[in-house]
């Protein structure tokens, strides 16, 4: 971030020979006198009287100096010229305004092919060029707040100051208006979370004002700093305000959190190229209690200056050691995505995560078409829990159950590698029995002799494996969870630290086998997690096996309302923010119920339920 000083500009303007410097003194004496008087103060602290854009008091100059106007376009005195796709940074005191101009030479120069002429009969000048004033071209204006006044209120230390405002007009008086009340509503726009994007149709010079509102100096101190850019191609800074966040919170335990992006591509031809490329996203995160980024969560430079944690693909960033990131194909479909695995977080704490895609990303998926400043995506919230017997792993050690991305029952006596090994081996051993049964099916028979024209043995293997891993590795929630869809397990067991549930809970539920046991005996015998709550598997995970496998296997599923269903499976819901059931790929970030939905057939609803012992598997 460059905070230009008047003194540096004076040095730039005097850099040529003494003779040229003397000539500068003759033609620009008022500006140089002002620079001399303010050379020891940041230029942002020069406050024009009554918020006016006074040429003598608001003498902001472009970086290139007096003799470079042929490059950037000639700007009126006191107005800084913006160059195409080149950001400008500046400090700004509350109650003041910075004024910029995008000249018609910048807007129309060198891009005649993209001009849209509003009058096909327009006259040409002596050189045969169209009159630029009769042309219209879109100009994309964007700005980010990099710093803002901070709260000095003891009773409200995280209070946020008002946002900056951008004004745009084709006249200097309109773009650099005395007060915001003088600016029409369609020519001004407040920043949102430290970012603003404004599109204008220009026929000539375009004036841009950045207005810092007045703030109560008994509540806030310090100044604003911002970065503004103009482009005739696309927004330089982009905030993806409309689309769903690209980041998903999969699950968490008392100190670890697993986050993944959405699939970067679904085209198998691009898988290898995407996986071998540098991870496309960076992640900014912070404890919500700190609120360092409040009011700046859509600003790239605001996040860079204020975020508590920065995670990027090259291992740099603040507190980067708390998180590992990289590409993965784990999860449903085996599609490439980027994963963020946090460890060492505080228990029972809430966090905010903000995904950022730099413009230099080599990822194949172009989710937003970022300009030079990159794109910031909407923030997501995630949190850790209190208990220590639900464990989130990064999944790297899973060899068989390669779609598992949720918290599972565990204890501190088994590290993550050992915990994964126990679960994976158990599921793989169970799957071996299924393979023996499937081997008796003529999978390679001609199409007219197969068990189904719609499904194959490969579909059966995929569906059974998904079901097996989902029921073998329960989705674990802390016993303190208030989710009404979670089922309490192992109520009579002691926690790994030796404590137990309250007597009234054990007396009410302890005599019921469904609440006094885990889904399968292996959990109690080898892992011994103690009491926990389980998010039951979605019933369509089971129905998919019935649809995909031969009827000769006699695989059946319970149906809602039948005995055993409520302690074995659950139905997906769309009216609650709470997770209703679990399936591979199910995130805690709220998404469409249709996402990941497995197909089911009406005839399955009336199928005979499994026995109680098999239901628990």
CB 423 within 8 A of CB 566: no
Higher pLDDT, 272 or 42: 272
Among residues of the chain, what percentage have pLDDT more than 70? Answer: 75
Residue 602 has pLDDT above 70, yes or no: no
Instruction: Write down the residue that tokens 């500046």 correspond to.
Output: 90
Higher pLDDT, 319 or 56: 319
Instruction: Write down the residue that tokens 């290898």 correspond to.
Output: 272
Residue 31 has pLDDT above 90, yes or no: no
CB 259 within 8 A of CB 340: yes
Dihedral through CA 356, CA 359, CA 364, CA 365, nearest 10? Answer: 50
Residue 436 has pLDDT above 90, yes or no: yes
Could you give the C-alpha distances from 255 to 322, 592, 597, in angstroms and in order?
A: 10, 28, 30
Give me the mean pLDDT over the 102-128 stretch.
55
Instruction: State the Cα–Cα distance between residues 61 and 155, nearest whole angstrom.
Output: 41
Q: Which of 53-62, 313-322, 341-350, 395-404 has the lowest mean pLDDT?
A: 53-62
Reported as a pLDDT band with limits 50, 70 and 90, residue 561 is confident
pLDDT at 179 (0 to 100)? 80
Reported as a pLDDT band with limits 50, 70 and 90, residue 66 is very low
pLDDT at 362 (0 to 100)? 38
Reported as a pLDDT band with limits 50, 70 and 90, residue 315 is low
Residue/partner pairs of 13-19 with CB below 8 Å, 24 or more apart = 13/61, 13/65, 13/66, 15/65, 16/67
* Beta-sheet strand order (sheet of 475-477): 475-477, 532-535, 486-489
Residue 201 has pLDDT above 90, yes or no: yes
Average model confidence (pLDDT) across the chain: 79
Higher pLDDT, 123 or 486: 486
- Report pTM: 0.77
Residue 320 has pLDDT above 80, yes or no: no
Residue 59 has pLDDT above 60, yes or no: no
Residue 115 has pLDDT above 90, yes or no: no
pLDDT at 360 (0 to 100)? 62
Q: Which of 235-244, 589-598, 601-610 has the lowest mean pLDDT?
A: 601-610
Higher pLDDT, 359 or 441: 441
Reported as a pLDDT band with limits 50, 70 and 90, residue 371 is low
Reported as a pLDDT band with limits 50, 70 and 90, residue 288 is very high
Question: Nearest 5°: CA angle at 562, between 559 and 565?
Answer: 65
CB 353 within 8 A of CB 380: yes
Give me the mean pLDDT over the 59-70 stretch.
34
Higher pLDDT, 6 or 494: 494
Among residues of the chain, what percentage have pLDDT more than 90? Answer: 57
Beta strand ranges found along 37-134 (DSSP E): 80-81, 88-92, 97-102, 116-117
pLDDT at 353 (0 to 100)? 95
Higher pLDDT, 320 or 293: 293
Nearest to 407 by CA among 384, 379, 431, 381: 384
Reported as a pLDDT band with limits 50, 70 and 90, residue 34 is very low
Residue 597 has pLDDT above 50, yes or no: no
Higher pLDDT, 65 or 111: 111
Instruction: State the Cα–Cα distance between residues 26 and 15, nearest whole angstrom.
Output: 16
In terms of phi and psi (left: phi > 0; alpha: psi -120 to 50; beta: otherwise), the region of 198 is beta
Using one digit for the tens of pLDDT, what is the confidence trace for 247-284?
999 999 999 999 999 999 999 999 999 999 999 999 99
CB 160 within 8 A of CB 224: no
Q: Which of 74-88, 377-391, 592-606 has the lowest mean pLDDT?
A: 592-606
- Dihedral (CA of 245, 248, 254, 256) sign: negative
The phi, psi pair for 136, rounded to 5°, reads: -125, 135
Give me the mean pLDDT over the 361-368 stretch.
40
Could you give the C-alpha distances from 554 to 463, 519, 599, 608, in angstroms and in order?
A: 15, 22, 19, 10
Residue/partner pairs of 155-161 with CB below 8 Å, 24 or more apart = 158/291, 158/294, 159/219, 159/220, 160/294, 160/295, 161/94, 161/213, 161/215, 161/220, 161/295
Highest mean pLDDT among 52-61, 441-450, 461-470, 561-570: 461-470
Give me the mean pLDDT over the 481-509 stretch.
92
pLDDT at 575 (0 to 100)? 56
Q: Which of 332-336, 357-361, 434-438 has the lowest mean pLDDT?
A: 357-361
CB 540 within 8 A of CB 600: yes
């Amino acid at each position: 971030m460059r905070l230009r000083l008047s003194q540096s500009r004076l040095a730039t303007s005097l850099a040529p020979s003494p003779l040229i410097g003397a000539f500068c003194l003759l033609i620009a004496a008022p500006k140089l006198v002002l620079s001399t008087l303010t050379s020891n103060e940041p230029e942002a602290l020069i406050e024009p009287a009554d918020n006016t854009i006074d040429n003598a008091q608001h003498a902001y100059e472009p970086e290139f100096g007096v003799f470079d106007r042929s490059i950037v376009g000639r700007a009126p005195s006191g107005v800084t010229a913006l160059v195409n796709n080149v950001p400008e940074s500046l400090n700004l005191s509350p109650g003041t305004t910075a004024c910029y101009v995008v000249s018609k030479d910048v807007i129309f120069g060198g891009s005649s092919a993209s001009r849209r002429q509003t009058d096909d009969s327009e006259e040409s000048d002596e050189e045969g060029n169209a009159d630029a004033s009769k042309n219209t071209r879109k100009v994309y204006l964007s700005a980010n707040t990099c710093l803002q006044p901070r709260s000095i209120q003891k009773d409200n230390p995280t209070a946020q100051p008002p946002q900056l405002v951008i004004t745009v007009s084709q006249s200097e008086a309109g773009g650099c208006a005395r007060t915001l009340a003088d600016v029409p509503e369609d020519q001004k726009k407040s920043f949102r979370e430290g970012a603003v994007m404004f599109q204008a149709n220009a026929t000539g010079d375009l004036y841009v004002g950045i207005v810092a509102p007045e703030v109560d100096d008994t509540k806030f101190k310090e100044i604003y700093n911002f970065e503004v850019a103009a482009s005739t191609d696309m927004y330089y800074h982009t905030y993806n305000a409309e689309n769903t966040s690209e980041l998903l919170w999969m699950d968490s335990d008392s100190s670890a959190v697993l986050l993944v992006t959405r699939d970067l591509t679904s085209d198998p031809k691009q898988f290898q190229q995407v996986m071998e490329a540098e991870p496309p996203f960076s992640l900014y995160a912070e404890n919500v209690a700190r609120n360092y980024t409040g009011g700046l969560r859509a600003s790239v430079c605001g996040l860079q200056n204020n975020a508590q944690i920065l995670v990027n693909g090259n291992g740099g960033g603040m507190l980067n050691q708390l998180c590992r990131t990289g590409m993965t194909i784990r999860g449903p479909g085996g599609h490439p995505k980027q994963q963020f695995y946090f460890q060492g977080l505080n228990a029972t704490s809430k966090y905010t995560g903000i995904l950022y895609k730099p413009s230099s990303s080599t990822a194949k998926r172009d989710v937003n078409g970022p300009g030079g400043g990159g794109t910031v995506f909407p923030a997501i919230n995630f949190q850790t829990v209190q208990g220590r017997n639900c464990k989130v792993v990064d999944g790297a050690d899973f060899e068989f159950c390669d779609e598992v991305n949720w918290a599972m029952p565990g204890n501190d006596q088994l590290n993550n590698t050992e915990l994964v090994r126990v679960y994976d081996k158990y599921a793989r051993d169970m799957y071996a029995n299924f393979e023996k049964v499937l081997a008796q099916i003529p999978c390679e028979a001609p199409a007219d002799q197969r068990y189904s024209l719609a499904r194959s043995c490969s579909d059966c293997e995929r569906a059974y494996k998904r079901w097996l891993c989902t029921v073998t590795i329960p989705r674990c929630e802390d016993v303190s969870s208030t989710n009404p869809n979670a089922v309490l397990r192992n109520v009579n067991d002691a926690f790994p630290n030796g404590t137990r549930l309250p007597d009234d809970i054990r007396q009410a539920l302890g005599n019921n086998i469904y609440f006094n046991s885990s889904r399968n005996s292996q959990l109690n015998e080898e892992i011994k997690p103690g009491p926990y709550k389980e998010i039951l598997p979605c019933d369509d995970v089971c129905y998919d096996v019935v649809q995909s496998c031969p009827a000769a296997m006699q695989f059946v599923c319970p149906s809602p309302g039948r005995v055993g269903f409520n302690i074995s499976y659950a139905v997906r819901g769309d009216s609650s923010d709470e997770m209703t059931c679990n399936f591979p790929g199910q995130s805690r970030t709220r998404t469409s119920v249709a996402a990941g939905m497995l197909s089911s057939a009406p005839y399955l609803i009336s199928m005979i339920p499994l026995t109680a012992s098999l239901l628990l598997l």
